[in-house]
Structure 1
Amino acid sequence: APGLRPPELDAYAALGIGDDHESVEPWEVVEKLRRGIWILVREGTTERNLEGLLRPLIGKMRDFRFFAFCTDDKHPNDILTEGHIDYCVRRAIELGIDPVEAIRMATLNPALHFRLDADLGSLAPHRLADILLLRDLERVEIDTVLFEGRVVFRNGGLIWSPRPKEIPEEYMRSVHVPEGLRPMDLLIGAKGEEALVRVIEIVPEQIVNREVRRWLPIEGGFIRAQYPVNHLAVVERHGRGGGIGRGFVEGFSLESGAIASTVAHDHHNLVVVGASPEDMVAAVRILEQAGGGFVAVRDSKPLALVPLPFLGLMSTEPAEKVVEALEEANEAAKELGCPLRAPFMQLEFVTLPTVPDLGMTDLGLVDARSFTLVDPVLETK
């Protein structure tokens, strides 16, 4: 519930909402705490909220007993280089929170909140022996990890391997896009010479976006994106009607080509952004063949591909291979002109219809402030 104010926030809390991980501003934290809502401080790949929330509250909060950490979405390259919840603890300590308080926010606090404290959250008889041994408290340098009493990690390496899982074949064939998809199918038709349109403007390293309005040219009966605005489309991929949502986005700044993803919160259809409708269709087809993933395309050929064949959401490869492919995809997006540090993570969230201002779905453009479908085209002349 980002940006939600009373009385709507009161109604939200009255539904029994117990926690929230979408706070962006410190005032949101205070208002939610006053209504008994726990604060999950988020620090992910594109959701960099930890410092902005905690720094203003240090010295003003009596304690942080109703706070815990989360990452929401974090790509494996960031997990390998930064860490996961341990990174949140380190950042909190660097900002000035007492190390014991910061560690409690990652252990006892969430265990209490989720009513798991009979098993987790503390070192005590009858609790599960899920334990981290640290070399350094303030730097949270992990030396040894015990899981259910077994040492699984020591001196920087795993000493235990998880058992491979059998994946049903149908889970590996989840991308079904309309047959005969053409470039014009991803464009918005219009009459006249130019159109005033709603555009989703990306906020770097945040999942919220802004609605902005831009005049774009009409050529050959279709509204054409003009740099730095790109075409945006969401293609239904679950075999449920083949709907296509069409619109525009600003912030990816692609000068050529297209990028696409089958990770698209939370409906996880196929989302594609591009300067070229032809490359957008090529990206859709490449992901259909791959069973899902991320792709960057130029001249209808893949520059980089991250296959995610398990439901179009996950890889079956080791993390190191996924990281290598993801870094190649990020570099390919940069070659196309994209300035974003994590372009595919940003792409995953332009489809979220519940976070302001706008979200693109296979049904069309959703205004997340009113939860209504809105026309991307406001005026033509």
Structure 2
Amino acid sequence: MEDLDLDKQINELISVACGEKKADLVIKNGKILNVFTKELMSGDIAIFDGYIAGIGSYDGEEVIDAEGKIICPGLIDAHIHIESTMLSPEEFAKAVIPHGTTAVVTDPHEIANVAGEDGLAYMITCSKNLPLDVFYMLPSCVPSTPLDEAGATLGAVELDKFYKCERILGLAELMDSYATIRNDPAIISKIESALTHKRIVDGHAPGLTGRDLNAYVAAGVASDHECSTFEEALEKLTLGQWIMIREGTAARNLQALLPLFDDKYTDRCMLVTDDIHPETLCDSGHIDFIIKEAVKAGKSPYNAVKMASYNAASYFGMRDRGAIAPGYIADLIIVSDLAKFEVEKVFKSGILVAENGALTVEIPHVSCDDEKYGRVLHSFNLKELTPEDFSLKEKGANKRVIKLLPGELLTEELIVPSNLDNKEAEFKHFVKAPGVETDKDIIKVALIERHKDTGHIGIGFLNGYGLQYGAIASSVAHDSHNLIVAGTNDADMALAANVVRDIEGGIAIAADGKVLSVLPLPIGGLMTNTKIDDVNAMLTNMKVQARKLGVSEGIDPFMTLSFAALPVIPRLRILTKGVVDVVTQSIVPVLFD
């Protein structure tokens, strides 16, 4: 029956293309951006049953006049973690569709690290039937490295069963490049599984170069989204990798990678956001914002749009989207002009789904069955914490500090005198823990295992965050999403951490023994069904409070902190077992002689 329906659809599409049958919808008088020739062309766009039948002169049951406007293919985010938006799939869709996004390729490794296969099943189920195509890459590193403690472990056997879903496009960012180039059997089996299923393998290898990079590419890794310099991107591009140009909330690489928008490189590049917060979506936009910024910097809008649509579709093997041409899915956007790139109308499969920044269709709420997804909704298994849990037991003359870098995910190692002889001292009416030197921007950071109640708590020091008083705790701590807390004193750290524990996930700010604000994230400790405007309002208020407590302007108080726990990006990170040197993949002492 399905074959008969397909034959009928093709026959009717041909009839519309030939002019023998009226189109469902015709868009007239606009200029069409052709991603194949990178020029504007004239002609009516005839749409039938969700597909483009032809471009030329057509009649339709409905006609839309696009006089003076530009018509572009719908935009595709080639690499994003929906969980990082803190929004459920349906609320995420509501947020990005008005910006012209008609498809995303997401790696659900955040929820997978919390709830394993249940987390994957939740995301796949809750993103069905949206006016946004949500494709998936299967998480390659759950946990991200053997040193990390996640809520689940996903090997090749667990992942293999998911390839039967047509929305699974491949194996997501292979973050453990260290293990990959050393022929780790668990990693290699995942790559082999993806390639056997004729799927693609995404990469994640910041700073990898030379023979190690050759080995990584030879393993079958086809792309990278971690390039922070043009030189790094060029080396990877030269070896055949596709480059994903990232402009998110904490990691912003667009300016450094602008040369990739030139004709010489553009055919192998895509646009991605990776990790993006509600504030960025509300204030700046999504992929449309990256296009605007590139054009503003003097780059070709034709190249930018192609990178944001056709290139992504080509890379992932989606032959029926990413362009305005006969036989392609009618995912279209109408923009004011190529310079301002203001999205005025969005069509998904030929249906108007957004106009002037607002949805024109209803997105039904997808209920999350507590019994079926209990592991997703009840993800905390952790005893109540005390200030004593945050005391550092090590001794030594020198203190190893994790140094944050504004606008980057990379960190550096900072060595200073230990200064741990001081007892807790009053600072105004706040207290500083031993080793904390707020005048030098050095505070305490801890990561508490929260999935299996192991009692493991890693403790270290953080520089570049700016906090002067109190503590900030979050269950969003990439990628295993244990409970991270940064603070100037142990009492406030325990208070903020316990608040997050009690609400089973979220963000909390505490100072001087008082809870200042809380954002609940009940879905895996990562997401909420709350509307984006409400989430953004709460986050904005919390960021104001974080700034008042001293957090630096160049630092995102929550996203930057969350990445302090990611043990696959150099140089130092905090884990539940202590501070890890990412380059050597070893736990290093915080205090040493």
TM-score calculated relative to the size of structure 2: 0.61
> Would the alpha carbon gap of residues 101 and 201 (structure 1) be closer, same or farther in structure 2, given more than 3 Å must change?
same
Alignment of 1:140 onto 2:341: yes
Equivalent position SS for 2:397: strand
Residue equivalent to 2:435? 224
- State, as a whole percentage, how many aligned pairs show the same letter: 35
Work out whether 1:189 is the aligned partner of 2:393. Answer: yes
Aligned to 1:114: 316
The correspondence of residues 94-243 of structure 1 with structure 2, limited to 5 A, is 94-116=296-318, 118-169=319-370, 170=374, 171-179=376-384, 181-191=385-395, 195-219=397-421, 223-227=434-438, 228-239=441-452, 241-243=454-456
Give the structure 2 partner of residue 355 of structure 1.
569
Alignment partner of 1:295 is 2:508: yes
Q: Give the stretch that moved more between structures: 278-287 or 118-127.
A: 118-127
Query: Which has the larger displacement, 337-346 or 43-52?
Result: 337-346
TM-fit CA distance, 1:200: 0.7
1:70 corresponds to 2:272? yes
Q: 1:268 to 1:103 in 2, by over 3 A?
A: same
The answer to whether the aligner puts 1:27 opposite 2:231 as a matched pair is yes
The one-letter code of the counterpart of 2:517 is A
Which structure 2 residue ranges, 5 or more long, are not aligned? 1-204, 425-432
Render the CA deviation track for 1:272-295: whole Å, top value 9, x for unaligned: 000011000001111112221122
Q: Show the counterpart of 2:585.
A: 371
Contact 2:261 2:300 in 1 (8 A): no
Q: Contact 2:446–2:460 at 8 Å: present in 1 too?
A: yes
**Rounded Cα–Cα distance in structure 2 between residues aligned with 1:69 and 1:247:** 35
Aligned AA (1:202): L
Which position in structure 1 is the counterpart of 2:462?
249
Displacement of 1:223: 4.9
Partner of 2:132: none
CA contact (8 A) 1:134 1:141 kept: yes
Aligned residues: 373
RMSD (CA atoms):
1.7
Q: Distance in 2 between matches of 1:349 and 1:124?
A: 41
Q: Describe the superposition over 1:242-292 as per-residue Cα deviations: whole angstroms up to 9, x where unpaired.
A: 311111101112111001111111111110000011000001111112221
Tell me if the contact between 2:508 and 2:515 (Cα under 8 Å) persists in the aligned partners. yes
Aligned 8 A contact 1:282 1:300 in 2: yes
How far apart, CA to CA, are the structure 1 residues paired with 2:579 and 2:206?
19
Matching residue's letter, 1:27 = E
* TM-fit CA distance, 1:58: 6.0
The answer to whether the 8 Å contact 1:216/1:225 transfers is no
Question: Which structure has more RCO (C-alpha within 8 Å, separation ≥ 6)?
Answer: 2
AA aligned to 2:298 is G
**Counterpart of 2:481?**
268
Q: Which moved more, 1:61-70 or 1:20-29?
A: 61-70
Instruction: Identify which range, 212-221 or 146-155, moves more after superposition.
Output: 212-221
The one-letter code of the counterpart of 1:224 is G
Deviates more, 1:181-190 or 1:230-239: 181-190
Scaled by the length of structure 1, the TM-score of the pair is 0.94
Amino acid paired to 1:280 = M
TM alignment of 1:299-314, pairs within 5 A: 299-314=512-527
Where does the alignment leave 5 or more consecutive residues of structure 1 unmatched?
none
Kindly name which structure, 1 or 2, has the bigger radius of gyration based on alpha carbons.
2
CA distance in 1, matches of 2:245, 2:333: 21
User: Is 1:216–1:226's contact at 8 Å kept on the other side of the alignment?
Assistant: no
